[in-house]
Amino acid sequence: MTALANTRHEAFCFEYIKDRNATAAYKRAGYAPKSDNSAKSAGSRLLTNVKVRARIAAFEAEYSERVQSETLDMLRSLVAIVRADPSRICRPVRGACRYCHGAHYHYQWRTLREFDVAVYAWKGLPTDVRAMKGEPSNVGGFGYDATRAPHPDCPECNGLGLLRVHFTAYEDIPDHSRPLYRGVEVTKSGAMKVVMEDRAAALDKLARHLGFYDKKRRGLYEAPDGMTKLIMEMNRAGSKAPITSSLRQGARPDAIPPKSGARDRCENVYRLPDK
């Protein structure tokens, strides 16, 4: 619907849908009433105007459509956060320790430069400390790779290797996991901290929107789980009898007659064999 020719009528319609208060909308539309009573009377008269009512209905329909669209976008975002896999962003990985693949399981250096730096640092230590630590040795060789699998016979780590945290570069994060990613923080010590969305909070918002916490609506979403209830009943009764399903015998759930006692108190879906 096109805008009304009367600009104040158009403004009144727009202001009215904000709080559905005809008196306040009449004032905000640019009118200058002598009193609140006159504004109330004039606003009520405008609501009887056919064109004004039609324009208000058009505004409300447009607003409702926009709200529904924004709600769907919000729900899609929450679902994407809940379904995202955080392990595709950062995860612990196991790799070889320094002794796993060194010659005769001695300490293995990455490069010759790393070894030279260690020797230089050792020479700068006090004499008593140098004697206690001993000069670094390259008997284990070079080429340490933390991403290699641990050696099962390593005497230092017993084949368990070392755990380290692997961070996935942003461009390598799968699309389905990116909604979970918020950014990176650098701590005072210089360490990086990956910040993610709260999946539990997102799931809670979804549950509240769908009415999972509403006792009146909860039954619409809870699938009956007769087996779980049966196990709970058996635990309370202390029964160790085998479980059979009456459904496998061709009986309808609602056709199984109720029985007294703890053996058949599970909504008549599953029952124990008669002794």
Residue 67: what pLDDT?
76
Q: What is the mean pLDDT of each run of 10 residues along the chain (275 residues)?
A: 86 88 91 90 92 90 81 86 91 95 96 96 93 92 96 95 92 92 89 89 84 62 50 51 41 42 38 41
Report, at the CATH architecture level, how domain 7-83 is classified: Orthogonal Bundle (1.10)
Residue 143: what pLDDT?
96
Q: What are the boundaries of each domain within the chain? A: 7-83, 90-167, 226-264
**Which H/E stretch holds residue 90?**
strand 90-95
Other CB atoms within a 10 A radius of the CB of residue 126 amount to 8
Token pair 């009986």 is at which residue? 251
Residue 266: what pLDDT?
37
By three-state DSSP, how is residue 261 classified? coil
CB-based contacts of 114: which residues, under 8 Å, 6+ apart? Answer: none
CA 177 centroid distance within chain: 10
Region of residue 220 (phi > 0: left; psi between -120 and 50: alpha; otherwise: beta):
alpha
The identity of residue 76, as a single letter, is: R
Residue 256: what pLDDT?
41
Residue 100: what pLDDT?
97
Residue 236: what pLDDT?
58
Residue 226: what pLDDT?
54
Output phi, psi for 104, to 5 deg.
55, 30
Tell me the CA distances in angstroms from 153 to 105, 110, 188, 237, one per residue in order: 9, 21, 39, 51
Q: Identify the DSSP state of 272.
A: P
